[in-house]
Amino acid sequence: MKLNKASKLVISVSVIGWALIVLILFNVVEISAANDSKQATVFQKIKLFNEVLFKLQENYVEDLDINELIDAAIAGLMEKTDPHTVYFTPDEFDRFSSNTKGEFGGLGISIDKKGDYITVVSPIEGTPAYRMGIQPGDKIAKVDGESMVGVSTDEVIKKMRGDKGTKVVLSILRPGIEEELEFVIIRDIIKIDSIPYAFKLDSGVGYIRVRQFNANTTRELKENLDELEEQNIRGLVIDLRYNPGGLLREAVDTVNEFIGKGKLVVYTKGRIPQANAEYITRYNRMRSGYPVIVLINEASASASEIFAGSLQDWDKALIVGNTSFGKGSVQRLYPLTDGNGLKVTTAKYYINSGRCIHRDLNDELLKDERVLNGEIDQEEYKHMIEEADEENMKEVFYTAVGRVVYGGGGITPDIEIEQHRLSPLSVELRRQNTFFNFSIDYNLAHDADITPDFYSDDVVVEEFFDYARDLSIEIEDTEVDSSLAFIQNEITYNIVSRKYGMEEGYKVLIHEDYQLQQALAIFDEHSSLEEMFDYAEEQKLVKKN
């Protein structure tokens, strides 16, 4: 008997539906054998899902794609979970895995979308793009002959990434050069630096910026600490601001560097026994001889909160800045068929003092339609967070030596320091990429005049203002007066970065970083952690009164 197209489709849908039932039932039987009633209910619901899928595909007024229907059903499942439980398509899963591994096959350029063009922010030193002469400000017009004008950043990244040893052709539009430039570049393994900046400041204090916790973090931290200690630093700042977290094991092993072997860093508690675990330091290493300050802010999350909170719990660092984000839930990654993946929340983190760092309000806000649609303004959002932080202060815990710390969501700093807000003029100049674009033109015209100690004087600043006015940006004298130091520093940072690399530029940038400069000032007044802890208690009393 021959089947027509409709019959074949109905059968295929039915087979897919019952295959889903069989697969899920195996799991249901495994975890629910002791509860026959619950198992029967789940069976009925899965059967109902199959019927709905079948009827829609068979009777809907227009053709429906079976794959799209199932993808929509999966998306519906995700809506009933927290915002950290995520279903990945194969491309998304591959990119996520690459980021946590800390390396991928590619060219080695940092990019951003500026107008219709994907523009090179900076080539990463030592990578294929850097060696071939790709420059900041280059616009990527084509990849392998295919136009990239108007294409999303993700799509361009997918085109440029690939296996080590394979070839890619970039067509570049470069400021100051009329014709299109073509670069044939051989892909290589690109390592994502967990620690982009580590250096000794003129004050004798070491500075380490940890961008994320990936598979390389412990090794990078150890190497950078060794180098800084050889330079006889008198103190250390570890900057975790805007660090979204990463690998739990790396957070534990980096904490190990400061608290020694055999110490509890974090433990997890979940619904199933497999989610409960303790993470204890395992190496005979412990840094000493200088005080440590850890900088955090409201965007420090997950593994970075474990790091900061653990050093606070074990009294090995002074925590400075703003209360952290409060992402203390545990996710496990599950590879699925056909390259898909699933990230599932299975437990919550608790650090040594007993504090759970997870702030439940964040999960609510991340899925709140009012937030997603912009119906809650910044002031209302801030007020909600402040109320949560007030509740947080009611949960008291104690460090190893008995200092009071607070739980209930995020890591509360020992000393709170607010970052200076940018003026409306500074925000607008940044929004329009004025500093970046000006630096490209300036470097082309004045390359020979840009020395390592270059600083933008009044002449350069006035040239910048003329450039901004040509872009129809209003420059009011009253705003200039309050923003001049920031603008001058930002111009210098961009120009120096273009010529001497991102680290040299970053050393300029931090001059106007109020939080960091206030943290560094603590080293000038207090030479030991004990003195810093006493100072923190004094500041709390002043704030109360």
Q: Rounded to whole angstroms, how far apart are CA atoms 307 and 314?
A: 11
What is the separation, in whole angstroms, between the first and last Cα of the chain? 89
What are phi and psi for residue 421, nearest 5 degrees? -85, 145
Burial of 181 (0-12, 13-18, 19+ CB in 10 A): middle
Q: Which of 82, 138, 313, 513 is catalytic?
A: 313
Q: Which of 122, 300, 302, 439 is catalytic?
A: 302
Angle at 436 between CA 435 and CA 437, to 5 degrees: 95
CB 295 within 8 A of CB 320: yes
Structure tokens at 100: 């946590």
Q: At what angle do helices 434-446 and 424-431 cross, to 10 degrees?
A: 70
Q: Which of 122, 139, 327, 414 is catalytic?
A: 327
**Cβ-Cβ contacts under 8 Å for 261 (sequence gap 6 or more):** 281, 282, 283, 284, 285, 286
Three-class SS string for 214-261? CCCHHHHHHHHHHHHHHCCCCEEEEECCCCCCECHHHHHHHHHHHHCC
Asked if 327 is an active-site residue, the reply is yes
Show the beta-strand stretches assigned E in 247-340: 264-270, 277-280, 292-296, 318-321, 329-335
- What single-letter DSSP state applies at residue 61? S
Q: Give the residue numbers annotated as catalytic, written as ranges.
A: 302, 313, 327
